[in-house]
Structure 1
Amino acid sequence: MTTWLAGMRVTAARLNDHSVEETADTGAVAATGWTISSFEGRRVSGVTTVNVLVTRTGADVAQSAADSGNIAGDPTACTLPVGWRPPSTANGNYGNGTVDGEYSINTAGVVTLRSISGASGIVTGTNARICCAWI
């Protein structure tokens, strides 16, 4: 049984016709203090993948306390476009080659950074790659 959530589109993939392939490269919206460097959504054989590269334009994102791994306020990085949002909250790891951490994407497509590693944090002008997949 399919559960329909606010913002979901009726698509062949959601109607279990997994023969339809779909791609997107626009529609992600950056949160304050971020820009979208690239967005790619792909749906093949019922598997949806989303890749977003966000660049920090605001103040540095750092640990709330030394060696804690926590980020004060769990900042929002971006929102995924309608049709490219997970059916339930998805969690994963983001990174930029130097710093990484955990993120979550809710059913409204809001990407929230939940933790961070490394004392340097995400400094202004650097990227974070967020990748997620679901069936």
Structure 2
Amino acid sequence: MHSELSGLVTAIDHVGIAVADLDAAIEFQRSTFGLEVTHSEINEEQGVHEAMLRAPGDAAGATQIQLLAPLRPDSAIAKFLERNNPGLQQLAFRVTDVEAASAALRAKGLRLLYDSPRRGTADSRINFVHPKDAGGVLVELVEPAA
């Protein structure tokens, strides 16, 4: 079965996990599973302090875990934690062109959270598919920075 997204989706980029305490969550992943932090930043626009982690056997960081802690009580992550407690928050697909992927999904009748891409981790460009249109899963589209 051919999809309009064939060629646009290249990989599962990461799985996002909402956490209350970023340092404690990093230490848990490090001491329990041996994961390594590859990147950490504060994203004011998204209202999060985040860290990307990879398995030690995955030197390229092909698929990572993103830990997301809220910076402020009105952030999407803070609201997620209030509703759901810590846990899986989103699944991210790496795409070659976030605008083309968004257009293809809109053409299928899916709702995206943003009219145009926003800045994500490490200057990536991102958008999200509404969970009600994706089987209850918040799906992120990530076009890595050049």
Please confirm whether the aligned pair reaches a TM-score higher than 0.5, indicating the same fold. no
More helix by proportion, 1 or 2?
2
Q: TM-score, normalised by structure 2?
A: 0.30
